[in-house]
Amino acid sequence: MSSFDEEDKTIYKVVLNHEKQYSIWPKERENALGWFDEGKFGLKQECLDHIDTVWTDMRPLSLQKQMAQAGH
């Protein structure tokens, strides 16, 4: 059986950067510079489903603020 056929049992964490952009990262690995734990841990699909629920505005935070100041 190839590794592509095996189910991914890795536990992931949802991470967030200063622009409120989301990603997932293996729980055991140190976060990349500028990324912080959001608080959700689980299998890959569980984390991706969580991101789908909470990340409703894909624009970076700086753009959201800029557009709000411009009245958009």
Residues making up the chain, counted from first to last: 72
Higher local confidence (pLDDT), 30 or 69: 30
SS3 letters across the chain: CCCCCCCCCCCEEEEEECCCCEEEEECCCCCCCCEEEEEEEECHHHHHHHHHHHCCCCCCHHHHHHHHHCCC
For 42-72, the pLDDT digits (tens) are 999 999 999 999 998 877 778 777 788 888 6
Which pLDDT band holds residue 10 (cuts at 50, 70, 90)? Answer: very high
Tell which CATH architecture fits domain 12-69: Alpha-Beta Complex (3.90)
